[in-house]
Amino acid sequence: MKLKSFFFAVVIICLAVTICHASGTYDVTHKNAIVLAMFGTTVEPALQGLLNIRSKIIDNYPDTTVRIAFTSNIIRKKWQIRAEDTEYIKAHPEIPADILHVKTPLATIADLQNDGYDTIVIQPTHISMGEEFLDLQTYVDALMNMGTLKKAKYKPFHKVALGRPALGTYGTDHHYVEDIDVAVKAMAPDVKLATKEKAGLIYMGHGNEFFPGNGGIYLELAAKMRKIYPDVVTTIGNVEGYPAIEDVIETLKLYKVKRVVLKPFMVVAGDHSINDMAGSEDDSWKSVLEKNGFEVVVVTEGLGENDNFADIFVDHASDAAMDAGITLK
Amino acid sequence: MKLKSFFFAVVIICLAVTICHASGTYDVTHKNAIVLAMFGTTVEPALQGLLNIRSKIIDNYPDTTVRIAFTSNIIRKKWQIRAEDTEYIKAHPEIPADILHVKTPLATIADLQNDGYDTIVIQPTHISMGEEFLDLQTYVDALMNMGTLKKAKYKPFHKVALGRPALGTYGTDHHYVEDIDVAVKAMAPDVKLATKEKAGLIYMGHGNEFFPGNGGIYLELAAKMRKIYPDVVTTIGNVEGYPAIEDVIETLKLYKVKRVVLKPFMVVAGDHSINDMAGSEDDSWKSVLEKNGFEVVVVTEGLGENDNFADIFVDHASDAAMDAGITLK
Amino acid sequence: MKLKSFFFAVVIICLAVTICHASGTYDVTHKNAIVLAMFGTTVEPALQGLLNIRSKIIDNYPDTTVRIAFTSNIIRKKWQIRAEDTEYIKAHPEIPADILHVKTPLATIADLQNDGYDTIVIQPTHISMGEEFLDLQTYVDALMNMGTLKKAKYKPFHKVALGRPALGTYGTDHHYVEDIDVAVKAMAPDVKLATKEKAGLIYMGHGNEFFPGNGGIYLELAAKMRKIYPDVVTTIGNVEGYPAIEDVIETLKLYKVKRVVLKPFMVVAGDHSINDMAGSEDDSWKSVLEKNGFEVVVVTEGLGENDNFADIFVDHASDAAMDAGITLK
Amino acid sequence: MKLKSFFFAVVIICLAVTICHASGTYDVTHKNAIVLAMFGTTVEPALQGLLNIRSKIIDNYPDTTVRIAFTSNIIRKKWQIRAEDTEYIKAHPEIPADILHVKTPLATIADLQNDGYDTIVIQPTHISMGEEFLDLQTYVDALMNMGTLKKAKYKPFHKVALGRPALGTYGTDHHYVEDIDVAVKAMAPDVKLATKEKAGLIYMGHGNEFFPGNGGIYLELAAKMRKIYPDVVTTIGNVEGYPAIEDVIETLKLYKVKRVVLKPFMVVAGDHSINDMAGSEDDSWKSVLEKNGFEVVVVTEGLGENDNFADIFVDHASDAAMDAGITLK
């Protein structure tokens, strides 16, 4: 695994105060926040994708404070160094303070608790239900299990809700197949470009070589795209795990595609996009495809920059809040 | 979802007694057992698949008592009625007592605890890491959390270990890709048959329409089979969720396959196999394939009847025991 | 610690069926049961105390099946041997079948789950909130954490509620001080006897030498009894831990009491009562008191035989059900 | 319940770095810290007690960074206001920065995690095992349950250990009776003073009116003190719950004590000590005792200022670390 500059999770906190009349003898004032949890990136232009998602959440819930969290230790460490580097700060006035001083999801949530927030919606910017999402779920369970014998009043967290990834999660509450449908619609501009280019469309997802079945949701998305947009052959592969670029090539050959648009299926177009996908090295996807005789049109833009895709995370945060009985404002 | 007579989990208990000298003031005698947890089946001949797995575990750990558990409430209820039906029992002398009186995994494990067993290896007969496996994992966690303030001595369970599904699970301890390799090898007889029949090979898995990515592991298996056995085009679809029979047909057409061997990728060849796969109704896979112009050779045999595949569950139970520091005998 | 024939927990299961229209697409039929969890006893006449509590629960919820569970491994093992001993059974026709075949709380609850019950009220017959009660609470938490990704429908347990001990538990829902008041009222017959005997009153509780503060609730009860019944000096000591018989003697001397009624403060008058309290050996409480110059009137009757005290467990089961939104019938 | 300026928990973090060669493919560098968790106080001179405990931990583990946490929301809020108040800061140069900017235990621990610490020893300054200690234990369990599917490497916390209260906790690892013995020895100076004053000794503990048995450990301590120091009649009561000042007076009368030394049995001599104990209002313990004819010698000094008592917390942190296999330096 290479050094990643991708993100999977940012933390934005939307703040709203509700005063509840709890049963019995005391009043509890609940304060709400949304935390956007991303993997993170160190590539400055790539921040656009995640900042776009944050803007959309703020626009949707203007009375709610917003904070960002990065899950990657390596990426966070680099930002900690930059935050101490006055020359870097002078050279990069565009970097917002909450990126410079970004913390882990736990530290971001705990700071909220220290400031009196007890109701948290965590919205990850994960693409699929996999290792990172399930890990985050253990955080949510753990935070809700921090208890008090005298219940309710002294519990550190009233409610902690977790929004689902872009392509949905298990269970019957929100059928993941409908989440795929929404994502397929959001990809229309890419299909338009491929049509214009008279090309097939290859997405590069991240994937996970240690999570069986992780490629399934990507393949289901590609199959749905070929059905909804029958004029463009859409295929998908992952940087890690199945399906790999070799599987993509096998599929393209079956469909007799010769020319392709190559684009990341990741929230930010960071290190993977720049190097693994579009890089000039021999083992970049671009190189491998060209070596196999394909003409390649590269597009390095993160999904977060696609407004319709960014909206998915806003909708999923809203669903999570509603399901948990949290009213965001 | 139809009435299922498939199984996913049987419970066999292998018993072995270890006397441990616990730290401090008391001696604790640990007693081991293996529980084979299946979905279950009501189709008597289909029991062969699961009884074969049980036999192999007994052969491997002859000093360990063996019990079976069924997870399906509907199937268990039917066996409860049969257990009261003297005519049924007379007519079916081949049904073993532990199938007639089969209980839930929890009740099977709790009976063991009541009998003094405190160290349990649960081996599910699941094919893939999905909803049912993750559910079972919550049982394991819960049983281990049944605690005692005076630790160790009074804890109801010393160790509870969970074996992984046939096609592996997440994590780095046992790379799931290697589990796929083992399964691919075990399927050699099917490839032989398809070669003889000059046909492609279609597997019908169970699948899960509410677990995103569930189809991925099946597709990865099929891709690996096409690589290892290049002379036979292997495809796979699921009864529930993606990839469906339509996706299978799309793939077969790309590969220009006209004739196929159709076989269940399930531990027992029960209701799904008899009806959904090989049935005479219009929407059975056989009917759909024939309607689409394919010649179909049907094989109704459960994976449990394949000795090499049955061995996978024995190996996974052994791994789980070893990883947990449990010595089975 | 001696071999105990005391009980702390019986399991009775009261059964009632409720049909719920769950949100969404399926109907779930919830079946209720009450489990009375005791430590258990092997002393046949001592069973009266616990059978009295069971009768009262059955009388109160006549449409609810009743099962008993014993937590003590040693005691259960003895009953398992008796259950195989036809001579014993012939000689003891008064022993009910559910005592003969009594299981652990977990096995009793799991059998209920196997029989389709998903809503369980566990009522321990513990006297005080201590080690055994907190251990049982981990069971309840664990059973509720046995989950399902598809929530609700397949969860093994809909609700598991735990009734509080006779002298209450922590928290603000049911102030333990009020539980002490109820218990103090129930002890009126003992005070009457002591008054008639012109004696002080000594209770022998069980106690726990490894649970700090365990003696506090007993001392608070004794202090309240001296306040409510000022004509009788009530003191209390424990078999294990503080306050011991020496502390009782110190208090009696301060109050200048010379003659005492000595009675167990345990649900059954089993082995501790017969031997540790009233036995003829040198270190029985009776012997120690007499050696210290006290006149001793021994009463060997379990609290479970006191109807008003037995009612406490019925009330606590009712409270637990009501707090959890369970309607018992 | 009055506004409390008492503390029960401070957080000090001792830092030490260990490089471990984890099994398998990666190296993990574990970083240790100790967090001293107190209730907190707003009374400046009362800080001495807790700062003394911190100093002792720093002296004992000089290579370990130290941070403090307060559990009381009300007290923390007051410090947040003071931290913004430049006049206050100028007037109180003696207040250390980590008190001014003190956070909740969770936020303190999470900041450590954000800074790369994964091994935390939490030492509460609780006197007894009760509500606050059990609450803190749920935090520890929760933090350890924040997991990762790929285990070990990405788990936010390697180990989180919780030190026991001054008077011990349940279980057999460290018998609480021995903790009482150590505390009894530490109280020698108070006995010396009472002897000199020809007086009995009354301790005012905090107590908890919603935690049954909470008074038991205090009464056991007082009984042990009367045994070890037979020349001074030691009694103890609580601000909240049993035993109350009325119970203390009843005991003093039995022992025919007329003159008493009155001293808090709390880590800091804060608001309870100044007002509830020694205040001039009618319902202060001093007033009540004098009204009942006692001569009262008041001592307002927190247990944290007693070096031998402060050492108890250092020892308990060391035990917790050792039990968890953590090497502090």
* Encoded amino acid at D76, one letter: R
Q: What angle do CA C96, C102, C106 make, to 5 degrees?
A: 145
Residue C211: partners with Cβ closer than 8 Å, 6 or more residues away: B149, C130, C131, C241, D170
D29: left (phi over 0), alpha (psi -120 to 50) or beta: beta
Size of interface A-C (CB pairs under 8 A): 20
Q: Are the Cβ atoms of B114 and C106 closer than 8 angstroms?
A: yes
C-alpha D114/C-alpha D107 separation (Å) is 10
The per-residue pLDDT for A7 is 36
Helices (H), chain A: 47-60, 73-83, 86-91, 97-100, 105-114, 131-145, 176-186, 188-196, 214-228, 245-254, 271, 285-291, 307-323
C-alpha C302/C-alpha C46 separation (Å) is 7
Chain B residue nearest residue D151, CA to CA: B171
| 3-state percent helix, strand, coil for chain D, nearest multiple of 5 | 45, 15, 40
Residue A267: partners with Cβ closer than 8 Å, 6 or more residues away: A6, A7, A8, A38, A49, A50, A53, A125, A127, A302, A303, A304
Residue A322: which pLDDT band, with cuts at 50, 70 and 90?
Answer: very high
C-alpha D166/C-alpha D38 separation (Å) is 13
Q: Are the Cβ atoms of A138 and D145 closer than 8 angstroms?
A: yes
Cβ-based contacts of D171 with chain B (< 8 Å): 149-151
pLDDT at B214 > cutoff 50: yes
Crossing angle for the helix pair B105-114 and C105-114, nearest 10 degrees?
150
Q: How far separated are the first and last CA of chain A, in Å rounded?
A: 40
Q: What is the mean pLDDT of residues D138-145?
A: 93
| A295-298: strand order across its sheet | A234-238, A200-205, A259-264, A295-298
Chain D residue nearest residue A155, CA to CA: D135
Q: What is the mean pLDDT of residues C220-232?
A: 97
Residue B147: which pLDDT band, with cuts at 50, 70 and 90?
Answer: confident
Residues belonging to chain B: 329
Percent of chain B having pLDDT more than 90?
86
Q: What is the mean pLDDT of chain C?
A: 90
Subunits in contact with chain C (3 or more CB pairs closer than 8 Å): A, B, D
Partners of B220 in beta bridges = none
CB nearest to D142's CB, from A116, A142, A211: A142
Cβ-based contacts of D242 with chain C (< 8 Å): 216, 219-220, 223
Cβ-based contacts of B170 with chain D (< 8 Å): 149-150
H/E run at residue B1: none
DSSP state of D152: G
| Contact (Cβ atoms closer than 8 angstroms) between residue A37 and residue A10 | yes
Phi, psi angles (nearest 5°) of residue C92? -125, 65
* Burial state string for D61-95 with b = 16 or more CB within 10 A and e = fewer than 16: beebbbbbbbbbeebbebbbebbeeeeeeeeeeeb
pLDDT, tens digit, 9 for 90 and up, residues D179-238? 999 999 999 999 999 999 999 999 999 999 999 999 999 999 999 999 999 999 999 999
CA-based nearest distance D87→chain C, Å: 41
The per-residue pLDDT for D127 is 97
Chain B residue nearest residue A211, CA to CA: B170
C-alpha B262/C-alpha B282 separation (Å) is 16
Q: What is the mean pLDDT of residues B245-270?
A: 96
DSSP state of A285: H
C-alpha C220/C-alpha D246 separation (Å) is 12
Q: What is the mean pLDDT of residues A104-111?
A: 97
pLDDT, tens digit, 9 for 90 and up, residues D46-89? 999 999 999 999 999 999 988 999 999 999 999 999 999 999 99
Q: Are the Cβ atoms of C146 and B142 closer than 8 angstroms?
A: yes
Phi, psi angles (nearest 5°) of residue D204? -105, 105
The per-residue pLDDT for C3 is 39
C-alpha B306/C-alpha B288 separation (Å) is 27
pLDDT, tens digit, 9 for 90 and up, residues C43-56? 999 999 999 999 99
pLDDT, tens digit, 9 for 90 and up, residues C84-125? 999 999 999 999 999 999 999 999 999 999 999 999 999 999
C-alpha C24/C-alpha C21 separation (Å) is 8
pLDDT at B71 > cutoff 70: yes
Partners of C31 in beta bridges = C17
Subunits in contact with chain D (3 or more CB pairs closer than 8 Å): A, B, C
Q: What is the mean pLDDT of residues A153-164?
A: 91
CB nearest to D170's CB, from C167, C175, C211: C211
Partners of A66 in beta bridges = A34
| Contact (Cβ atoms closer than 8 angstroms) between residue C271 and residue C6 | yes
CA-based nearest distance A139→chain D, Å: 5
Cβ-based contacts of D25 with chain B (< 8 Å): 172
Chain D residue nearest residue C241, CA to CA: D177
The per-residue pLDDT for B150 is 65
pLDDT at D271 > cutoff 80: yes
Q: What angle do CA B237, B241, B243 make, to 5 degrees?
A: 35
The per-residue pLDDT for A66 is 81
H/E run at residue C91: helix C86-91
Q: Are the Cβ atoms of B114 and C76 closer than 8 angstroms?
A: yes
pLDDT at A157 > cutoff 70: yes
Partners of C200 in beta bridges = C260
Q: Are the Cβ atoms of B114 and C104 closer than 8 angstroms?
A: yes
Q: What is the mean pLDDT of residues C124-128?
A: 97
Q: Are the Cβ atoms of D138 and A147 closer than 8 angstroms?
A: yes
Q: Are the Cβ atoms of D111 and A110 closer than 8 angstroms?
A: yes
* Encoded amino acid at A291, one letter: K
pLDDT at B107 > cutoff 90: yes
| Contact (Cβ atoms closer than 8 angstroms) between residue D118 and residue D158 | yes
Dihedral of CA atoms C182, C185, C186, C187 in degrees, nearest 10, equals 130
Cβ-based contacts of A141 with chain C (< 8 Å): none
- Residue among A264, A295, A290 at smallest CA distance from A197: A295
pLDDT at B100 > cutoff 60: yes
Neighbours of B175 (CB within 10 A): 14
Chain D residue nearest residue B145, CA to CA: D141
pTM of the model: 0.91
| Contact (Cβ atoms closer than 8 angstroms) between residue A8 and residue A123 | no
Q: What is the mean pLDDT of chain D?
A: 90
Chain A residue nearest residue D132, CA to CA: A148
CB nearest to C142's CB, from B104, B116, B143: B143
Q: The tokens of D200 are what?
A: 């009995």
CB nearest to B247's CB, from A130, A210, A223: A223
**Omega of the bond leading into D243 within 30 degrees of 0 (cis):** yes
Residue B19: which pLDDT band, with cuts at 50, 70 and 90?
Answer: very low
The per-residue pLDDT for B276 is 95
Sequential DSSP letters for A151-168: GGGG-S-SEEEEPPPTT-
Crossing angle for the helix pair A176-186 and A214-228, nearest 10 degrees?
50
SS (H, E, C) C272-298: HHHHHHCCCCCCCHHHHHHHCCCEEEE
The per-residue pLDDT for A307 is 97
Phi, psi angles (nearest 5°) of residue D138? -65, -30
CA-based nearest distance B172→chain A, Å: 6
pLDDT at B7 > cutoff 70: no
Q: The tokens of A5 are what?
A: 């500059």
| Contact (Cβ atoms closer than 8 angstroms) between residue C296 and residue C286 | yes
Sequential DSSP letters for A208-276: -TTSTTHHHHHHHHHHHHHHHSTTS-EEEEESSSSS-HHHHHHHHHHTT--EEEEEE-SSS--HIIIII
The Cα-based distances of C165 to B115, C92, C268 in angstroms read 27, 31, 15
Percent of chain D having pLDDT more than 90?
86
CA-based nearest distance D3→chain A, Å: 15
Location of structure tokens 């003891």: C92
Q: Are the Cβ atoms of B128 and A212 closer than 8 angstroms?
A: yes
The per-residue pLDDT for D87 is 97
Q: Which of C153, C172, C174 to mutate to test the interface with A (most CBs of A within 10 A)?
A: C172
Q: What is the mean pLDDT of residues B94-120?
A: 96
Q: The tokens of B22 are what?
A: 């616990």
Partners of C303 in beta bridges = none
The per-residue pLDDT for C175 is 96
The per-residue pLDDT for D154 is 73
Q: What is the mean pLDDT of residues B112-138?
A: 95
Chain D residue nearest residue C129, CA to CA: D212
pLDDT at A14 > cutoff 70: no
Q: Which of C210, C233, C234, C256 to mutate to test the interface with D (most CBs of D within 10 A)?
A: C210
Q: The tokens of B103 are what?
A: 């209980």
Cβ-based contacts of D142 with chain B (< 8 Å): none
Cβ-based contacts of B173 with chain D (< 8 Å): 151
Q: Which of A211, A225, A226, A253 to mutate to test the interface with B (most CBs of B within 10 A)?
A: A211
pLDDT, tens digit, 9 for 90 and up, residues C138-193? 999 999 999 777 666 678 999 999 999 999 999 999 999 999 999 999 999 999 99
Q: Are the Cβ atoms of B212 and A216 closer than 8 angstroms?
A: yes
Q: What is the mean pLDDT of residues C60-79?
A: 93
pLDDT, tens digit, 9 for 90 and up, residues C296-315? 999 999 999 999 999 999 99
The Cα-based distances of C154 to A11, B41, B75 in angstroms read 34, 18, 14
